[in-house]
Amino acid sequence: MFARVLFLLLLAANLGFGVWLLLAPPAAVAQWLPTDPGVAQLTLLNERDGALADAAELARAPEPLGADRDLRCTTLGPFPTQSDLRRAMSVLTPLTERIQFRESRALRSRGWWVYLPAFASRDAALTAARELSSKGVRDYYVVTAGDQENTISLGLFRDGDNAARRRDEVKALGLDVQLNERTEDTPEYWLDYAVSSTQRFDWRDRVPDRLELSARDLPCGQLR
């Protein structure tokens, strides 16, 4: 009997405490005051008005140091080989703010070819060759195979003027002589570099074996 009464009392106490928790007013939030009079209260960044706009502003990438307007950019070339490029790059790198190399393609002359166009047959080509010989023409060759078969070659020349002179000599004999420049697609190498706008140096005094190099201004935005 006593245990039952004790159980009922505990149950009633728990119910009463639960009702008090539900009905009790919320506790006041403590207000932190400045430690010294006249000192403004600190406000967290995310509590400020326009916090999202401020966060977006902070997320923006900073402007790069050393704006391009303080640089002078140049492209130098073309270098015919990678070894020529490397020699120049090793000399100029300590003098530049930025430097890079690039490759391009270009048609290069391999000389000039003077010839009589292909004849209809091997016999016709040999007959024409004998006619050349009878007129005092030397240094010719009958092509016997390949794309130029039955053509009579009158010489390969590195100098265009010499090639034109050979063409005119044979043409004066009443023959249909042709002159073509031979070209090939080859790589060329360039150095692009930037120096301070106040720095002055002449690359001609630095680069060995200048060959046929030339320099011109380059927009600095093209340098990575």
Assign 3-class secondary structure to 131-148: HHHHCCCCCCEECCCCCC
Q: What is the CA radius of gyration of the chain?
A: 45
Report pLDDT digits (tens) over 134-179.
999 989 999 999 999 999 999 999 999 999 999 999 999 999 999 9
- The predicted structure's pLDDT at residue 12: 64
The average pLDDT across 110-123 equals: 96
Q: What's the CA gap between 68 and 64, in Å, rounded?
A: 9
Report pLDDT digits (tens) over 42-87.
454 455 555 545 544 544 444 454 455 689 999 999 998 999 999 9
Task: Please give the model's pTM, rounded to 2 decimal places.
Answer: 0.50
- Among the listed residues 50, 32, 52, the one whose alpha carbon sits nearest the alpha carbon of residue 42: 32
Q: What's the CA gap between 86 and 189, in Å, rounded?
A: 10
Q: Domains of the chain, with CATH numbers?
A: 68-108+185-222 (3.30.70.120), 109-184 (3.30.70.1070)
223: which residues sit within 8 A by CB, 6+ positions away?
A: 73, 98, 100, 192, 193, 194
User: Count of residues for the chain?
Assistant: 224
Peptide bond into 78 cis (omega under 30): yes
